[in-house]
Amino acid sequence: MTKVSEFVKDDLINSLAGVRACLLATAATISEDQRFTPFLGDWSGLELFAHIAGWDATNLQAVRDIQGGTMPKFYSQYDTGWQTYKDTLVEGYRKKEFNEKLQVVKKNPKEMLENLEEI
């Protein structure tokens, strides 16, 4: 890998980590009432973080699939805007406890970032 591409990769990984830290810091300020109040269509903060946790897991698996020489498995579930897949992720990753969901969102990218650093 060239020095430029290594720099770009490191910058991207650092940016991802920074954005996630800002997201979590902002989430910690959301009041109890706001956590379950829809603000994005019919999604509340709980659904938003379930969506993020689901895509984190999906993307981590996709990296592993690609490293193994196969097409990411989730590609077979494409529909317009990935709507069905997103709905499945939200249902599968939704937890009743908001703080529990934040912990999942906090933990997931560490494994992903470690995996990306190895590439």
pLDDT at 110: 67
Quick: pLDDT tens for 8-50.
878 888 888 888 889 889 888 988 888 889 998 988 888 888 8
Question: What's the Cα-to-Cα distance from 15 to each of 39, 40, 111, rounded to whole Å?
Answer: 26, 25, 16
pLDDT at 63: 87
Q: Residue 118 region, left (φ>0) first, then alpha (ψ -120 to 50), else beta? A: alpha
Q: Residue 70 region, left (φ>0) first, then alpha (ψ -120 to 50), else beta? A: beta
